[in-house]
Each structure stands twice: as C-alpha cells, then as structure tokens.
Amino acid sequence: MADDIDKIAQNLQETILKGYSNKFKREFSNPKNIGKIKNADSSVSITGACGDTVEMYLILKDEKINDIKFMTDGCGAAVVCASYVAGAAKGKTIEEALRMKPEGVEHYFGGLPEESKHCAKLTVDTLRAALNRYQNKK
C-alpha cells in the first residue's frame, strides 16, 4: 500500500512539474532562504493578483544585503522564484538588487510556463518594496 501511495505521489509531482526546467525542479526540491528574520532592517508583504502572498525580510550592512529570508503561502512556483530571488540578492548592494527583473528570474530557469510568470514578478516586486522601505526609513 505504501509503495502505491509513493508511486501516486511521484506521478503527481512529475505531472505538476511538467514544463519546468531541471534547474527549476532542483530549486523546487531544495528551496533556500525560507523563514523570518526577527528585528529585520526591512520587511514587507505583498499579495499578487493571483492571491499568493510573499513576505521578505532583509538585514543590510554597509548598503549591502547581508541576510534575506522569505515566506509565502503561494504555489510551488512562488516558492521557487522567491528562493532564487533571495539567493541572488544576498550580498548585492541595494542598487544592484533594485536592478533585478522578473525576466532575469525567468531566464535563469530557462523560461517559465505562462501560468507561473506572475510568480517571478511578485517576488521581484516584493524585494524592491522591501528595499524601498529600507531606503525610506533612512
């Protein structure tokens, strides 16, 4: 019985991930930078048109992103995009991170299916909002 359930789960996961790159699948299997940061220098929560919410928490030092974490109630694509955006932003200056674009996220993963492209935009928009909030506090 357990083997049957494992096979069903594997088939379901393969069906869900059909159309995504191997790089996307690897990130899906091992997302990074998930969590909250107490006493973050900046944090923001944005809900996209799809209903998914992404929260980002930043610690900055010398105008660079020293640490970044995210939380989301979104789909797998939201988790994967947020994981990538957080990892790519870590260590960047504010100005460098503000230049990140949703198209860059899509390019990194070798493209995203149409129904997942909004996740790249939502995560980049959330990062930008957190950085702008930090800059406005100063």
Q: Would you give per-residue pLDDT tens digits along the chain (138 residues)? A: 667 676 665 655 555 566 678 898 898 889 999 999 999 999 999 999 889 999 999 999 999 999 999 999 999 999 999 999 999 999 999 999 999 999 999 999 999 999 899 999 999 999 999 999 999 987
pLDDT at residue 13, rounded to an integer: 55
First to last CA, the chain: 59
Taking the model in full, what pTM does it have?
Answer: 0.88
**Residue 22 contacts by C-beta under 8 Å, 6 or more apart in sequence?**
none
User: Distance between CA atoms of 82 and 62, rounded to whole angstroms?
Assistant: 24
pLDDT at residue 14, rounded to an integer: 56
pLDDT at residue 12, rounded to an integer: 52
pLDDT at residue 137, rounded to an integer: 85
pLDDT at residue 22, rounded to an integer: 87
* Backbone dihedral angles phi then psi of residue 45, each to the nearest 5 degrees: -130, 125
Residue with tokens 């357990």: 2
Please, are residues 56 and 84 in contact by the beta-carbon 8 Å criterion? no
Domains and CATH numbers, the chain: 21-137 (3.90.1010.10)
pLDDT at residue 78, rounded to an integer: 96
